[in-house]
C-alpha cells in the first residue's frame, strides 16, 4: 500500500492480537479483506484495538438501525470531505440497501445544511428562546 505516512501491517505479518482484531473486523462487516484504514492504524496496535472496539459497539443496531447509522456516518464524512471515509461508507451503505435515490436525497440534505450552517454562523444568529425550550424534548 502506497501513500500512507505509517507502515501498514499485512495480515500475514500481524501479531496474534492484531490478527484477532482483523478477523473480528472481517466477520462483523461480512467482508473477506482487511481495508487499508485498519491496516494503517495497526501500525500503532493500541489505536487499532481502541478504535475498533469503539466503532463496533457504536455501530451495532439500537434505537437507530444499521443503515441509518451508515447514512449518518456518510453525512459526517461528506461534511468533513474525507475521501477514504466517503468511499468506505458509501460502499457500506450500498451493501445495506442504499439506492441511487437515497444517495441523491442524502447529498441534497448535506448540501442544504452546509449552506444554512455557514449562514447561521456568518450572520451570528442567536438561538430562539422557544427553540431552546424544545431542545430537551
The Cα–Cα gap between 112 and 84 comes to: 23
Q: Which is nearer to a copy of itself, 12 or 101 (CB)?
A: 101
Min. distance of Cβ 48 from a copy of itself in angstroms? 10
Q: Which is nearer to a copy of itself, 21 or 69 (CB)?
A: 69
The Cα–Cα gap between 46 and 49 comes to: 5
> Within a 13 Å sphere around the CA of 9, how many CA atoms are in the beta-carbon half?
19
- For residues 76 and 55, the answer to whether their CB atoms sit within 8 Å is no
Min. distance of Cβ 61 from a copy of itself in angstroms? 10
Min. distance of Cβ 106 from a copy of itself in angstroms? 6
Q: Which is nearer to a copy of itself, 16 or 136 (CB)?
A: 136
Amino acid at each position: 500500500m502506497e501513500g500512507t505516512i505509517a507502515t501498514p501491517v499485512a495480515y500475514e505479518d500481524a501479531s496474534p492480537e492484531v490478527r484477532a482484531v482483523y478477523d473480528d473486523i472481517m466477520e462483523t462487516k461480512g467482508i473477506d479483506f482487511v481495508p487499508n484504514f485498519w491496516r494503517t492504524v495497526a501500525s500503532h496496535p493500541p489505536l487499532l484495538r481502541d478504535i475498533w472496539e469503539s466503532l463496533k459497539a457504536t455501530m451495532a443496531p439500537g434505537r437507530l438501525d444499521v443503515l441509518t447509522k451508515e447514512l449518518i456516518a456518510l453525512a459526517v464524512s461528506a461534511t468533513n470531505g474525507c475521501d477514504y471515509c466517503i468511499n468506505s461508507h458509501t460502499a457500506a451503505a450500498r451493501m445495506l440497501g442504499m439506492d441511487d435515490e437515497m444517495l441523491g436525497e442524502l447529498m441534497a440534505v448535506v448540501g442544504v445544511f452546509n449552506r444554512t450552517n455557514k449562514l447561521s454562523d456568518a450572520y451570528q444568529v442567536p438561538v430562539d428562546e422557544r427553540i431552546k425550550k424544545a431542545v430537551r424534548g
